[in-house]
Amino acid sequence: MYPITFFIVTTALLFVFGLVALTIKRDLVRLLIGIEILFNAANLFFVALSTQHVGMIDPLPQSIVMMALVLDGTVIAVGLALALNVFKHYKTFDIRKLRRLKW
């Protein structure tokens, strides 16, 4: 069994990578990848907390994470479909150029 600090550090690194991808990148696809990294960091932390009882693994958080993975996949699929539609119409993924399209 790994100590909880290993999972907390890994989760924190994933969370920072996801936030950096959201704040620095100006591409729709890379923003979606950053969101997916944030989702995975939260899921890893949730599962890591469920395994901290010696000799027992709680199945409830793991089943919740499995449902969250399915929902995360659908969110990213819809986001990629929207990004593809934006690219077909405006020929760019750059959000700085797309901001000019406001009402």
Ordered domains of the chain (ranges, CATH): 4-101 (1.10.287.3510)
**What per-residue confidence (pLDDT) applies to 26?**
85
State phi, psi for 51 to the nearest 5 degrees.
-100, 15
Instruction: Kindly report whether the global pTM for this prediction surpasses the value 0.95.
Output: no
**What per-residue confidence (pLDDT) applies to 65?**
93
20-48 average pLDDT score? 91
Structure-block tokens of residue 15: 């969370």
Q: How far is 52 from 57, CA to CA, in rounded Å?
A: 8
**What per-residue confidence (pLDDT) applies to 80?**
94
**What per-residue confidence (pLDDT) applies to 50?**
84
Dump pLDDT digits (tens) for 60-100: 888 999 999 999 999 999 999 999 998 998 888 888 887 77
